[in-house]
Amino acid sequence: MPSSRDVVFVDGVRTPFGRSGPKGLYAETRADDLVIRVIRALMRRNPNLPPERVDEVAIAATTQIGDQGLTIGRAAAVLAGLPKTVPGFAIDRMCAGAMTAVTSVAGGIAFGAYDVAIAGGVEHMGRHPMGEGVDPNPRFLAEKLVDPSALVMGMTAENLHDRYPGISRERADAYAVASQEKVDKAYADGFIQRDLVPTATRSTEKGWGLATADEPPRPGTTLEALAGLKTPFRPHGRVTAGNAAGLTDGATGCLVAAADVADELGLTAKMRLVSYAFAGVDPEVMGIGPIPSTEKALRLAGLAIGDIGLVEINEAFAVQVLAFLDHFGIADDDPRVNPYGGAIAFGHPLASSGVRLMTQLARQFAARPDVRYGLTTMCVGMGMGGTVIWENPSWEGAK
């Protein structure tokens, strides 16, 4: 039997994210073309990697239909110009698709089945709204297996507010404003642009364009402005378009490799995988998913939350992040949490977001040699959570 090998995150990139809909950046751009841009960028940024050494391409999409279907990992690999000897597959774990793509190939690398793999995700929510073409089994409701609200993500967030009465709408709005401010600062400091792939856009009305920055962020957002927004999921509710991630289009991808192979090929390891875990929760409160998945990942790693110096948590809804922070005794404004901001500002193109978290954590590791461990975590539709714990190769204590 092969012995387990260390797995490292070599590089991560993404397209700029666009707002979904007929006026969004990618309204007339194919989903698979977004993935192709990402794969080509990874290969271009890592010229020491011979294309034939890529052993697998795992690409996630939540709505596997149309230009997000056709086993998109394989289709995008061929279209991106990788050798036809390179296989690929598609993954669906809703919001944690790209995260699961990474953990899936990482397991193969640790086992010895792969040396190097590409993992990522895409979601074109403008072309393919969440739930397009699905046919939920009537037993879910007829046998009361889930609450009717479980299938509407915004309603699950309202349920979380019910469960955690200390998380008010005002507190969620304040968190949302802070996220917008952090993204604005991260852009001003040049941290985000380094891993964005300029992406061609097509418009019948405007002609060709080039996306070089995220479209969803709203710098200058104020508490007063958020307080005036409607609550679409419940009368007098607490979840609004301002304290939740918007509908977004975009793709992400990363290179994952065995540590010894990365050394052999001259590829720089930006993070080392320590542990990962997924957990299930009641679907009607899916936002608490990151709590048990993080507890499990910490247990597997032999670590405590106090050992974690950086946290990248997906901001599907502010209430979901705040529930996580409260559980672990972390302040709303703790500088360890989403230093560059999060999905409330960037947007959340479902299956692709996990790798955005990883790419941002890798950037933070490089700038923070005082930090040894970080984690990426997210809630997942249908009642799940996912967490990956990483170690910083630049940690000054290792020298």
Active site (catalytic) residues: 95, 348, 379
Cα–Cα separations (whole angstroms), residue 29 to 59, 97, 210, 247, 251: 18, 21, 12, 16, 12
Using alpha carbons, select from 128, 154, 82 the residue that is nearest to residue 351: 128
Using alpha carbons, select from 343, 377, 350, 341 the residue that is nearest to residue 249: 350
Q: Measured between alpha carbons, how far is 239 from 312 in angstroms, rounded to an integer?
A: 22
What residues form DSSP beta bridges with 388?
Answer: 276, 376
Please name the residue that has the structure tokens 């809804």.
Answer: 317
Q: Measured between alpha carbons, how far is 38 from 53 in angstroms, rounded to an integer?
A: 18
Q: Measured between alpha carbons, how far is 145 from 69 in angstroms, rounded to an integer?
A: 29
Let me know: does 228 contact 178? Beta carbons within 8 Å: no
Q: Measured between alpha carbons, how far is 102 from 282 in angstroms, rounded to an integer?
A: 25
Q: From the centroid of its chain, how far is CA 220? A: 24
Let me know: does 357 contact 376? Beta carbons within 8 Å: yes
Helix-helix angle 97-111:353-367, to 10 degrees: 70
Residue 278: in which H helix or E strand, if any? strand 271-280
Q: Measured between alpha carbons, how far is 339 from 326 in angstroms, rounded to an integer?
A: 18
DSSP 191: T
Residue 178: in which H helix or E strand, if any? helix 169-188
Q: Measured between alpha carbons, how far is 119 from 252 in angstroms, rounded to an integer?
A: 8
Q: Measured between alpha carbons, how far is 67 from 65 in angstroms, rounded to an integer?
A: 6
